Amino acid sequence: MPKKEIALKIINPNAAGIDVGSRSHFVAIGQNLNDVKEFGVYNENLHALAQWLLDNNITTAAMESTGTYWQNLFSILQEVGIKVILVNGKFTKNIHGKKTDVKDCRWLQQLHSIGLLTGSFLPDSETELLRTYCRHRTNLIQLAADTTRKMQKYLRLLNLRLDVGIRDITGITGLAIIGAVCNGEKKTASLADLRNHNCSKSKEEIAKALQSNGRADFLFALQQEFDLYKTFQLKIEACDLEIENMLNQSIGKDESKKNLKTDDKIYKRNNKNAPKNIDINQMAYQYFNGIDLMAIEGVSHSTVIALMSEVGYEGIKKFETAKQFTSWLRLSPNNRISGGKVLSNKIPRGSNRLKIALRNSANAVGNLKDTHLSNFFNRIAFRRGRMAAVSATARKLAVIIWNMIVKAVKYNPPTLYEFLDQKRKRKVVEMKKLIHKFDITINDFGLQL
């Protein structure tokens, strides 16, 4: 009896599969061995690969995302008009047989031909440039934080207990004292005179903490780390300038965006790592075409920057529903059901910078009181703990942000939260109305001025 064959429908007849590597790329345009060819990673090899695909009438190609090795090839293939999809490696694993580069590219070609592969999310070119600057800035902040910890270490070894005397050694007072110590100042009274007027500790307390043992080796190491810290701060400032230029270019393309203005969020505390000399509140309002994301409680400058650089205004519209957006962020439960029974509903592993930013915002929401989101946070935390509440609130924030941007709706919570200065303004307005209504004067209060 002849074997029964099942033919699968070909969705992409002119498809190729590319197994991306660090030293070479294997390309398959069919399932025969003579349909597979190896190319190098130099620029001329990449152009030869693209030309070979064009000569064989290939219109679409699937490549597996491997580190950053795929990016140059991806750009070249797009330039020559080949549609490229970037596929997550966990969706392209071969189910049987030995693993070789030749078999991998043929398997990719086969899956892509019958339409079983879906591409990963990729932002537009403008957002990609902004993302590079923002990610590099984050790396610089982390390097500066490393030097801060090392400065604390060498200060402690010098018995300069600046970490006890002041809260932040990289504040105005701390940097001034460290700079003087590195320049050779040894008098505790002179060092204490550098105290900023906003410092909570008195000069006498700071002077007691600055009695050094004078070790030359630790002082040399402190000088080195202090110089590195100042260098990183200069690099961060240069990065901030590039980010500002990128945002201005993006907003400047649309004259209607440039005229948009929103109210200042003076109740939003500006983190010291936030970009200096950039009004993120106004720029984000213009960038998202009149959508005020900073009106959401818990959403900070870092959250907005992460959204602009990781997804972008046009990028978030690629997600057809809020569920798709939260699933991509890995904030939705991964339900596994068999026989009508839920085997697992845990959130998938993995993270990205926007997910981290949303979780940080959700954690900040948990510290607020009597808001729509904080009440939701507390209900989840009471039942399942704070970590589950952070994830659930981060997902809720993602849904709110998607609806605001894609559907162009304002943030309108059922219960409006008022910050302290907003309460004061409202009370003052109410009191003025009452004074005007009842014609009250100062004498009516019995106050003596």
DSSP string for 300-329? -HHHHHHHHHHT-TTGGGGSSSHHHHHHHT
**In this predicted structure, what is the pLDDT of residue 92?**
76
pLDDT value at residue 172: 86
How many CA atoms are closer than 13 Å to the CA of 186, on its beta-carbon side? 8
Residues 372-413: tens digit of each pLDDT: 899 899 999 999 999 999 999 999 999 999 999 999 898 888
| pLDDT for residue 1 is more than 60 | no
Non-local CB neighbours of 367 within 8 Å, separated by 6+ positions: 374
Higher pLDDT: 345 or 109? It is 109
In this chain, the answer to whether the domains covering 15-113 and 126-248 adopt an identical fold is: no
Give the per-residue pLDDT at 240: 93
Report the range of poorest mean pLDDT among 94-108, 182-196, 356-370. Answer: 94-108
Tell me the mean pLDDT in the region 27-56: 92
Residues 430-443: pLDDT tens digits? 888 888 888 877 77
Beta bridge partners of 39: 25
Can you give the pLDDT at residue 5? 65
pLDDT score at 143: 95
> 201-236: b or e for each residue (b if 16 or more CB lie within 10 Å)?
beeeebbebbebeeeeebbebbbebbebbeebbebb
pLDDT at 400: 95
Given pLDDT bands bounded at 50, 70 and 90, which one contains residue 416?
low
Q: What is the structure's pLDDT at 184?
A: 85
Mean pLDDT of the chain: 87
Q: Are 114 and 203 in contact (CB under 8 A)?
A: no
The CATH number fitting domain 126-248, selected from 1.10.10, 1.10.287, 3.30.310, 3.90.1070:
1.10.287
What is the predicted pLDDT for the residue at 370? 80
| Residue 386: exposure state from Cβ atoms within 10 A (0-12, 13-18, ≥19) | middle
Which distant-in-sequence residues (6+ apart) come within 8 Å of 15 by Cβ? 58, 59, 60, 61, 62, 109, 112, 113
Q: Can you give the pLDDT at residue 97?
A: 66
User: Is 65 in contact with 51 (CB distance < 8 Å)?
Assistant: no
Span of 13-27, 114-128, 333-347, 354-368 with lowest mean pLDDT: 333-347
pLDDT tier for residue 4 given thresholds of 50, 70 and 90: low
Residue range 257-277: average pLDDT?
Answer: 83
Whether 423 shows a pLDDT value over 90: the answer reads no
User: Residue 380 in contact with residue 393, Cβ under 8 Å?
Assistant: yes
Could you tell me the CA-to-CA distances from 143 to 5, 137, 275 in Å, in that order? Answer: 60, 10, 16
pLDDT in tens, 336-359: 777 778 777 777 777 889 999 999
Whether the pLDDT of residue 449 is over 60: the answer is: no
Q: Flag whether pLDDT at 445 surpasses 80.
A: no
Domain 15-113 class?
alpha beta
Please report, for the chain, the start and end positions of each structural domain, with discontinuous segments joined by +: 15-113, 126-248, 275-406
pLDDT the model gives residue 441: 76
Give the list of residues 6+ apart from residue 334 with CB closer than 8 angstroms, or none: 344, 345, 346, 347, 348
Instruction: Give me the sign of the Cα torsion angle 75, 45, 70, 117.
Output: positive
Most confident of 92-96, 302-306, 333-337: 302-306
Predicted local confidence at residue 7, as pLDDT: 65
Question: What residues contact residue 381 under an 8 Å CB cut-off, 6+ apart?
Answer: 366, 388, 389
The 3-state DSSP class for residue 394 equals helix
Q: Coil, strand or helix: which one is 111?
A: helix
Separation between Cα atoms, residue 283 and residue 264, nearest integer Å:
12
Q: What is the rounded CA–CA span in Å between residue 165 and residue 152?
A: 12
**pLDDT at 407 (0 to 100):** 92
Residue with tokens 């002041």: 166
The pLDDT tens digits of the residues spanning 222-258 come to 999 999 999 999 999 999 999 999 999 888 888 888 8
Query: For residues 303 and 441, what is the distance between their CA atoms, to the nearest angstrom?
Result: 48
Collapsed DSSP state (helix, strand, coil) of residue 54: helix
Q: With bands split at pLDDT 50, 70 and 90, how would you rate the model's confidence at 166?
A: confident
Contact 74, 62 (CB under 8 A): no
What pLDDT is stored for residue 100 in this prediction? 84
- For residues 185 and 191, the answer to whether their CB atoms sit within 8 Å is yes
Give pLDDT, residue 271: 79
Question: Residue 96: which pLDDT band, with cuts at 50, 70 and 90?
Answer: low
